[in-house]
Structure 1
Amino acid sequence: MLGSLHGFKILDLSRVLAGPYCSMILGDLGAEVIKVEAPGGSDETRKWGPPFQNGVSAYYVCANRNKKSITVNLKEEEGKEIIYKLVAQSDVILHNFKTGTMERLGLDYNTLADINPRLVYCSITGFGETGPYKHLPGYDFIIQAMSGLMSITGNSLSGPQKLGVAITDVLTGLYACISIQAALLERSTSGMGQKIDLSLYDSAVSSLVNIASNFLMSGENPKRLGNTHANIVPYQSFKTKDGEMVIAVGNDHQFMRLCTVITQPHLAKDRRFATNPDRVENRETLIPILQKAFLQKNTAHWKQTCQDEGIPCGPIQSVNELISDPQLQSREMFIAAEHPTAGNIHMIGSPINLSRTGVQYKQHPPNPGEHTQEVLTSIGYSAEDIMNLLKRNVI
């Protein structure tokens, strides 16, 4: 079975998370991905830890499977010549250097499009390639702060909080995947490539969705509501007798069934709580009533009872509990692979399920330069050429 993107070649000059996450997804879908680093390895995440497994960092592993690795000194003319030859055979080039860096290296879109007019060129930066912030470096934490995400995360006592993962990197990686595939699809008609200009800042702001829409409609600055919802009640976490869970009541009928489950059916008929707008207005009265009820029994009881009645409910699980979740096990969301240095490594699998051209896990996250000789040979370099480049630290 061939992957959906079999036959497409991706040249990945990115590092850390947003770009590598994008190229990993493309690789999972069958594209050939060549990861380019400086000699010795220049992806910072190789050193981000602990934890390490035989010197291989968990952070690096999370976003770099299904890739080949070559090392090239982009500051050397012979190094740039290697990139030019690879570009001539590639469908996509992906990078996340700061604005202006690729131009200084002679690897800008116009230069590479002259070599390959069909090339899709994807640039990921902190703030984009236009505007007054274009030269600023972009880090997920900074972007979460500036984008409004931190201002709405946490509660009134905690102050602003970042999300537990680098969510703006992940979102931008997903947008990059969408953009690249859209450009490749359009190319099948026009025959032409194009440039993609993505920023972490734009991606983070786009994720505000209903929160931003609420502000744009009402003019009211959103509050930090913790584990509650701005527009729906009850839609939040509750403590139980032995833990915590989340109830997500999406309509009035579900609320009526919830009231029956907690043996307080009269609440659904109370004018203060009968409709969702009523419940939002009177949440300070309703929530303590519900919380008192949920404290009477354990999480497993409420999970089963609510699910039996069609009320969205789930326990707040730790990562340790997540790994043994039977649903995720059945969906094969945890995979293992042999690594030449780390040994047997464990990774999160892909959530993409296609009936005919599903994802495949063919290549472990590579060591720096693991495939340099193989890739250079494929574009015409002899063994003697490669040895000379190696001696001069070009590769």
Structure 2
Amino acid sequence: MSPRPGALDGIRVLDFSRVFAGPDSTQILGDFGADVIKVEEPTRGDDARYFGATQDELAAFGGISPSFLAFNRNKLSLALDLGCEAGRSVARRIAANVDVVLNNFRPGAMAKWGLGYDDLKALNPRLVYATFYAYGAEGPLADFGANDLALQAHSGLMSITGDADRPPVRCGTAAIDLHASLGLVSAISLALFHRERTGVGQEVDTSLLLSSAHLMNYFYADYWISGNTHGRMGTANHLSVPNQAFPASDGMVIIIAPNDEMWLRCARALDAAALDRPEFLHSSARLSRRHEVVAALSAVTSRLSCAEIVARLGAVKVNVAKVNDIGEAADHPQLAAVGGVVSYERHGKRIKAVGSPFRMAATPGSVRRPAPEIGEHTDEVLAQFGLSEAEIADYRQGGAFGRIAGAPREPS
């Protein structure tokens, strides 16, 4: 843990988001000092609490899935039932006194609850109001629900992922979600910087659609300019050769040599006699002779171990990497060396997690709190915002923090 203050010390965030993209954004803000209040439905909480874990695994992890632990450190959990006016009233009282409100509900949901930007701006003109959408707030698909996989399909990402002779496959991680989370962190940071200059907040948003389009940037540009619609190429890439996975004697390695100088270094480091050939000298020629280049290079690499290939090519500054499994990648010392691994205690257990995706020398990130239980900090948060014990009791009786046994449910 760093003793130095974070870049966002004093910034308060009210987080209504769930699952991956929103919680990742607010975790990054929290890592750098923001006080993040995670609003959760009182009974079940964020669905990510249970993602991908069996009952036995949940018990082993203290009732919370690794997915939830991955995205919810440095947060206080406030249990609020937004389905009742008491819960919405508490949310408005807090929103009037924070710097950032973030949500990933469908378009119109927050406004229906009296928690839209116009509602909260009237209470708090300095507010930065951030929203994650699936397809955006306008347009023919605005009301459609979607997740990372749906946008992998819609964006065309799946059409270029997989082998040419097999059906499309998903990217194995939630790439669009996590890319979008960084986009919203950037937008929030820019809005806070603008507020420092002007004293006025603003509404910012992103969507899984915009995130996916940014990931597909040069594919769309190529199509709009030249009409090309590239298909699946396995691990290969249409931009250069070699630029894909190659067999080793004990696994697979990625080799990328996009320019002629790097190709020569690659050829001479591995087997000059087999690879340093005139017909392979120029990048345009290698593209035209893709199958010949790949076959010749594969014949060389298949005789060598992954370690030997990485050592030879790394020594001459050719882009190279062993195709690791998850354990090899997570435990590689390089990740820890750049601050990519953090750890903290939760219920007496040591939790390891991925650190923030960037570093700041003067105001580094830190882990200050473990991932919370549902509503663990409800009374603590309310007291911070000036609610008295009597007021808290009244809100509790009104169902703000979950239904009291036998109490009638408020009509929606």
* TM superposition score normalised by structure 1: 0.96
Aligned to 1:15: 18
Aligned to 2:404: none
- Answering whether residue 342 of structure 2 is matched by residue 335 of structure 1, we say yes
Q: 1:135 aligns with which of 143, 164, 175?
A: 143
Distance, in Å, in 2 between the alignment partners of 1:10 and 1:76 is 22
Aligned to 2:131: 123
* Unaligned segments of structure 2, at least 5 residues: 402-412
Contact 2:6/2:363, CA 8 A, preserved across alignment:
yes
* TM superposition score normalised by structure 2: 0.92
Displacement after TM superposition at 1:112 (Å): 0.6
- Answering whether residue 293 of structure 2 is matched by residue 286 of structure 1, we say yes
* Unaligned segments of structure 1, at least 5 residues: none
**Equivalent residue runs for 1:171-182 within 5 Å:** 171-182=179-190
**Equivalent residue runs for 1:366-385 within 5 Å:** 366-385=372-391
Contact 1:303/1:313, CA 8 A, preserved across alignment:
yes
Identity %: 32
Distance, in Å, in 2 between the alignment partners of 1:261 and 1:49 is 44
Contact 1:125/1:199, CA 8 A, preserved across alignment:
yes
SS at match of 2:72: coil
- For the structure 1 residues 384 and 319, does the alpha-carbon distance in structure 2 shift closer, same or farther, using more than 3 Å as the test? same
- Answering whether residue 84 of structure 2 is matched by residue 76 of structure 1, we say yes
Contact 1:352/1:358, CA 8 A, preserved across alignment:
no
Q: 1:202 aligns with which of 210, 215, 218?
A: 210
Distance, in Å, in 2 between the alignment partners of 1:32 and 1:187 is 18
In the alignment, residue 25 of structure 1 is paired with which amino acid?
I
* Higher alpha-carbon deviation: 180-189 or 49-58: 49-58
**Equivalent residue runs for 1:57-136 within 5 Å:** 57-136=65-144
- Answering whether residue 311 of structure 2 is matched by residue 304 of structure 1, we say yes
SS at match of 1:232: coil
Displacement after TM superposition at 1:93 (Å): 0.4
Aligned to 2:396: 390
Contact 1:10/1:91, CA 8 A, preserved across alignment:
yes
Following TM superposition, the consecutive aligned residue runs of length 4 or more in structure 1 with deviations greater than 4 angstroms are none
Distance, in Å, in 2 between the alignment partners of 1:289 and 1:9 is 58
Distance, in Å, in 1 between the alignment partners of 2:340 and 2:96 is 36
Aligned to 2:408: none
In the alignment, residue 311 of structure 1 is paired with which amino acid?
V
Displacement after TM superposition at 1:266 (Å): 6.7
Aligned to 2:371: 365
Displacement after TM superposition at 1:269 (Å): 4.3
Distance, in Å, in 2 between the alignment partners of 1:14 and 1:249 is 42
SS at match of 1:176: helix
Contact 1:69/1:368, CA 8 A, preserved across alignment:
yes
Distance, in Å, in 2 between the alignment partners of 1:263 and 1:80 is 69
**Equivalent residue runs for 1:147-226 within 5 Å:** 147-226=155-234
- Answering whether residue 320 of structure 2 is matched by residue 317 of structure 1, we say no
SS at match of 1:82: helix
In the alignment, residue 281 of structure 1 is paired with which amino acid?
S
SS at match of 1:62: helix
In the alignment, residue 370 of structure 1 is paired with which amino acid?
E
In the alignment, residue 371 of structure 2 is paired with which amino acid?
P
Distance, in Å, in 1 between the alignment partners of 2:210 and 2:335 is 32
Distance, in Å, in 1 between the alignment partners of 2:335 and 2:20 is 24
Cα deviations across residues 187-245 of structure 1 (Å, max 9, x unaligned)?
A: 12222111113110121011112222222222021111110111111011001011110
SS at match of 1:138: coil
Contact 2:135/2:207, CA 8 A, preserved across alignment:
yes
Displacement after TM superposition at 1:323 (Å): 2.8
Q: 1:232 aligns with which of 237, 240, 243?
A: 240
SS at match of 1:69: strand
Q: How many residues align?
A: 393
In the alignment, residue 38 of structure 1 is paired with which amino acid?
E
Q: CA RMSD in A?
A: 1.5
SS at match of 1:336: strand
Contact 1:267/1:274, CA 8 A, preserved across alignment:
no
SS at match of 2:168: coil
* Higher alpha-carbon deviation: 212-221 or 93-102: 212-221
Displacement after TM superposition at 1:265 (Å): 4.7
SS at match of 1:68: strand
Distance, in Å, in 1 between the alignment partners of 2:43 and 2:397 is 13
Displacement after TM superposition at 1:78 (Å): 2.0
Aligned to 1:38: 41
Distance, in Å, in 2 between the alignment partners of 1:173 and 1:360 is 19
Displacement after TM superposition at 1:95 (Å): 0.1
Contact 2:270/2:309, CA 8 A, preserved across alignment:
no
Distance, in Å, in 2 between the alignment partners of 1:209 and 1:279 is 25
Distance, in Å, in 1 between the alignment partners of 2:352 and 2:316 is 37
Distance, in Å, in 1 between the alignment partners of 2:206 and 2:329 is 32
* Higher alpha-carbon deviation: 287-296 or 80-89: 80-89
Displacement after TM superposition at 1:278 (Å): 1.4
Distance, in Å, in 1 between the alignment partners of 2:26 and 2:240 is 37
Distance, in Å, in 1 between the alignment partners of 2:137 and 2:274 is 58
Distance, in Å, in 1 between the alignment partners of 2:212 and 2:341 is 27
Cα deviations across residues 105-149 of structure 1 (Å, max 9, x unaligned)?
A: 111111110001111111111111100111111211111100111
Distance, in Å, in 2 between the alignment partners of 1:246 and 1:96 is 37
Aligned to 2:360: 354
Distance, in Å, in 1 between the alignment partners of 2:266 and 2:353 is 38
Contact 1:41/1:71, CA 8 A, preserved across alignment:
no
Cα deviations across residues 139-184 of structure 1 (Å, max 9, x unaligned)?
A: 1111110011101111112221111111111111111101111111
**Equivalent residue runs for 1:235-254 within 5 Å:** 235-254=243-262
